[in-house]
A and B are shown apart, each in its own frame.
Chain A
């Protein structure tokens, strides 16, 4: 693992690095507010989270992904290693493709979710929200596999929104419009390699750009230069959170407790309880949690993860959910007023058997109006589809702007 050579040599005091894009972020960070995202400083909002959100939905927005935990997994057993680790069949992720996945404990409880990039035949990158190197090393027992955490060696930017493709084209990435969702492409960039994946956390047209940290600032500059006419904006984590709720994506530590950080055994969640059964491939002979998940499938899950369409416009953060007889049946994990869907939306965990598509429930929302607290029992309906899922998300080539 390479040590990052930043000007701030005293990072050991708190082990928080400035991101390789820090010099550029600093200039744009009007609010001068920073948060910690594991090893890095991250920007919650540069100026106004809602405006940044609208940039992502109506133009394009840039989000610094560098703090994502990254690993390179290679060696003769890389594929069997990953297939034992995650619940889906990694053999189906061909070279040059990316796959979303979750991984579990032996008890079938989700440790984290992330993406596997099949960089080249037999060589993979695993990106995760949480630090995973301990669990990966534990998993390496019995496999001929090389695992390197290279979080600090790769700088990442997400470019998300309808004008993202046009911006990259203008930056000179020839043929980028032909990249299909979950595809990978490589480009020469000022003497280094720029990897672009058509992936993201916004549920919209978008790309993620991966480069060595020495070229990070140049990438930022070229991107903003090319994006000027396409209304490019920086985006902080608050705006990103809004987009991911609209897309129905879960967030570790918010919508579920990562199993390794959970003390009480009933507070963890299985993939089936997070609406991720499509990621679990029981045709694989063995993966961590398979036996437990098979049992769960036969016995029935404890919880159901649902999307709620709530009446009114008061965001239902931290709310309890009740059935029609006002019996508590669960709680909201993420909620917002969705400006794009024009709906009051939420993600929630409900006790089984509640939460079938179309079920009507009540949400107890507390809200403040000019400091005065009020409470409403709002009607809500369990819905199937994400609140934001535009056709351009999948369209290849995307429309030009």
Chain B
């Protein structure tokens, strides 16, 4: 039982940790956030990678941030502004064809009439199915096998959410949710440029190919907030700063450059944390925004857990696959065949389903993609604070770059950067000449930089077996862990990764509820 006014510690000032801190502080608890880095935000940070050039270091598009959190924490009044909203997705090709997806409208030389006709129904279906997941996002997952009224009610509600879609949609929902995007896209569309681009919704940030089961589930999860891509002004760091400002305004204390070395326990109770500098902070409520493996294996120690639970934690799949490319450019990129007005879109290099599947194949064998898939933004076209006047930054999510690369990343990084630049140069032959400075972050860099096991953006692979009451594992899926007083609030918990904030708020609610409101 935690009393109001009693100290709570949040390990990690990523967006979920900050959201959790803000809601706890708002409810009157004394919260201290301990962030290892010199700025808050975790992987949602803006970083100056070359003099005068700034870029979102991890995630570069905002598409899942919960509207309720944005409103409840008044993030807009704490400085959150959008530089671009509702970015169209444009699938580009080396041959100069392109296809622009703007809502349910398809344009450009790659658009085919059949696909144009099929797109509204596809989006209606996917958005409806994604809505079922979305309604689960803002609640503590129910437990299975209990007779608790709340659990049973939540399960019944999920069943009802599916059932009330009607016979046709329910059948389709149950049919496709567990299968792969390849099959579903083949059923619906002709154009390879379109199918390639849409398949990315299912595989970005995952260790899945287009033909891997679960990829439809991942697509639905990504689309669960309306599939609307926004660019925050000042980069993703501005989102974190706004949440931090909201947390501070409610009285939360946020300490940066305060790396936690371990979580201290007494018997089966958490009793404090020890920092890297050796100092100890006592508290009876410790909330970890670190990923589950870091929390349980490194900060706590598996020996302080029962063996079955520790084993489940060890088996969480968290092999990060995403690399991030940042280019400082002397002039804007100019992609073959693409009108300049569309360069500011969310550009994807995924010219066919086959291309994406082949790019993934390498990852299975612990190799990087020979021809990687990319999601490119040029945020400086929307936001002139990111680069010197007339110059630009390009930010690209690059897949697949598995963390467990055979030869290790220190050896492979230069060669992989070369591959990525080659692929870019096929689409903008001048790109090398325009590049003033480049930076590639591998999953190994993200693991060391952000403290995420496996460099995994979502802390744990998003998949049906690592979702809801199984995220991160059975026994810790209600934010409460087997160690009394130790809680989780990061992306490793339900509802998972993406700059969403829901895990942080759900954790705060669960803690407040356990304290009796």
Contact = CB atoms under 8 A, between A and B. Distances in A.
A104 to B, nearest CB: 9
Contacts of A151: none
B314 A141 contact: yes
Contact of A85 (B297, B301, B307): B307
A290 to B, nearest CB: 7
A288 B268 contact: no
A150 interface: no
B307 A141 contact: yes
Interface in A101-117: 105-107
A142 interface: yes
Nearest to B300: A142
Give the one of B306, B314, B475, B482 with max A CB within 10 A: B306
B342 interface: no
Contacts of A138: 307-308, 310-311
B302 A286 contact: no
B304 interface: yes
Nearest to B315: A138
Contacts of A290: 268, 306
A354 interface: no
A254 B157 CA distance: 44
A286 B310 contact: no
Contact of B303 (A84, A106, A107, A135): A84
Given A142-B297, A286-B268, A106 B302 contact: no
B307 A106 contact: yes
A323 interface: no
Contact of B301 (A81, A142, A288): A142
Contact of A80 (B267, B268, B303, B305): B303
Interface in A282-298: 285-291
Given A138-B311, A141-B311, A142-B297, A289 B306 contact: yes
B355 interface: no
A287 B306 CA distance: 6
Interface string A269-286: 000000000000000011
Interface in B305-331: 305-311, 314
Given A141-B314, A285-B268, A77 B303 contact: yes
Q: Size band of the B side of the interface?
A: 10 to 19
B482 A288 contact: no
Interface in A67-109: 77, 80-81, 84-85, 105-107
A231 interface: no
Contacts of B268: 285-286, 290-291
Nearest to A138: B311
A247 B426 CA distance: 81
A286 B306 contact: yes
Contacts of A141: 297, 302, 307, 310-311, 314
A187 interface: no
B355 to A, nearest CB: 40
Nearest to A284: B267
A58 interface: no
Nearest to B308: A106
A249 interface: no
A141 B313 CA distance: 11
A401 interface: no
A143 interface: yes
Nearest to B313: A141
A107 B304 CA distance: 16
A285 B482 CA distance: 13
Contacts of B475: 106
Interface string B421-461: 00000000000000000000000000000000000000000
Nearest to A77: B303
Given A141-B311, A291-B482, A106 B306 contact: yes
B308 A105 contact: yes
Interface string B284-301: 000000000000010001
Contact of B306 (A77, A81, A291): A291
B164 to A, nearest CB: 33
A84 B482 contact: no
B441 to A, nearest CB: 30
Contacts of A77: 303
22 contacts: A84-B307, A85-B307, A105-B308, A106-B475, A135-B307, A138-B307, A138-B311, A141-B307, A141-B314, A142-B301, A142-B302, A142-B310, A285-B267, A286-B267, A286-B268, A286-B305, A287-B306, A288-B306, A288-B307, A289-B306, A290-B268, A290-B306
Interface of A: 77, 80-81, 84-85, 105-107, 135, 138-139, 141-143, 285-291
5 interchain residue pairs of minimum CB distance: A142-B302, A106-B308, A142-B303, A285-B267, A106-B306
Interface of B: 267-268, 297, 301-311, 314, 475, 482
